[in-house]
């Protein structure tokens, strides 16, 4: 969906999906035209990571469009909103990564799904997989050895943290428990995620 409009805390939130400025303007116009009274007088907030790719004047034209249809612009730091206005460096991927798919991100990556064999995740910080991790991961790709890799099922082909590389030993049966990999004494270690005291060295 190019744009989605939702009601929230007595105002409107417009969420921008992937698209360009012309698509946004057309989609908004279509929605506003369909029922002009529905939107009138409401404070509007813009959301969506696609907004970052817009030029300031393009953003302004979207705001002007809302004003033209009788809406007001919500003040971002209103006392109602309790969200910390920092730019999140986490990337949340809500899908399974299949063979040949690769994610590179300057921050931590959270994958809500599986990472299949021959898929790759490269992150500047941590990698969390809420699913099975069978592919290749590189956490702390810029050298941050405090980065970790955690997964509901940690069965990767290869784990890298910083400049360390580890492969699971070929004769070991994969553990069916949530686990995490981290660097200790220059080696990548793996331990169960839920019981922090048990640790076992892997390489």
Interaction residues for another protein, span 16-55 (CB under 8 A)? none
Helix 56-68, helix 21-34: angle, nearest 10: 10
136-139: strand order across its sheet: 102-105, 120-123, 136-139, 158-161, 164-166
Token output for 62: 């979207």
Q: How many CB atoms lie within 10 A of CB 20?
A: 12
Q: Which lies closer to another protein via its Cβ, residue 63 or residue 96?
A: 96
118: helix, strand or coil = coil
The one among 99, 146, 158, 200 contacting another protein by CB under 8 A = 99
The region that residue 152 occupies, defined by phi over 0 for left and psi between -120 and 50 for alpha, beta otherwise, is alpha
The one among 118, 130, 175, 203 contacting another protein by CB under 8 A = 118
Considering only 4-12, 66-74, 82-90, 116-124, which stretch makes contact with another protein by CB under 8 A? Answer: 116-124
Q: Which lies closer to another protein via its Cβ, residue 114 or residue 126?
A: 114
Q: Which lies closer to another protein via its Cβ, residue 91 or residue 115?
A: 115
Q: Which lies closer to another protein via its Cβ, residue 101 or residue 175?
A: 101
The one among 101, 103, 178, 192 contacting another protein by CB under 8 A = 101
Residue with tokens 């612009």: 73
Q: Nearest Cα to 181, choosing from 172, 173, 169, 155? A: 155
Interaction residues for another protein, span 182-201 (CB under 8 A)? none
33: helix, strand or coil = helix
Q: Please give the helix or strand (H or E) that residue 131 lies within, else none.
A: strand 127-133
Question: CB 123 → another protein: shortest distance, Å?
Answer: 19
Question: CB 101 → another protein: shortest distance, Å?
Answer: 5
Say whether residue 117 binds another protein (CB under 8 A).
yes
Say whether residue 98 binds another protein (CB under 8 A).
yes
Considering only 32-40, 96-104, 175-183, 186-194, which stretch makes contact with another protein by CB under 8 A? Answer: 96-104
Token output for 38: 């529905």
Q: Please give the helix or strand (H or E) that residue 111 lies within, else none.
A: strand 109-111
Considering only 63-71, 80-88, 90-98, 194-202, which stretch makes contact with another protein by CB under 8 A? Answer: 90-98
Q: Which residues form the interface with another protein (CB under 8 A)?
A: 95-101, 114, 116-119
């Amino acid at each position: 969906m190019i744009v989605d409009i939702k009601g929230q805390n007595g105002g409107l939130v417009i969420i921008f999906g992937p698209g360009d400025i012309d698509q946004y303007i057309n989609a908004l116009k279509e929605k506003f035209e369909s029922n002009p009274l529905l939107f009138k007088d409401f404070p509007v907030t813009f959301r969506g990571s696609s907004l970052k790719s817009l030029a300031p004047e393009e953003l302004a034209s979207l705001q002007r469009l809302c004003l033209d249809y009788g809406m007001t612009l919500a003040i971002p730091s209103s006392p109602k909103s309790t969200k910390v206005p920092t730019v999140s460096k986490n990337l949340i991927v809500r899908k399974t990564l299949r063979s040949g798919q690769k994610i590179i991100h300057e921050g931590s990556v959270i994958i809500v799904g599986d990472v299949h064999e021959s898929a790759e995740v490269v992150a500047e910080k941590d990698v969390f997989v809420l699913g099975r991790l069978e592919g290749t991961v590189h956490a702390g790709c810029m050298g941050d050895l405090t980065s970790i890799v955690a997964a509901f099922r940690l069965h990767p082909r290869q784990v890298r943290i910083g400049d360390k590389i580890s492969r699971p030993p070929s004769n070991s049966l994969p553990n069916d428990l949530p686990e995490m990999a981290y660097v200790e004494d220059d080696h990548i270690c793996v331990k169960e995620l839920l019981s922090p005291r048990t640790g076992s060295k892997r390489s």
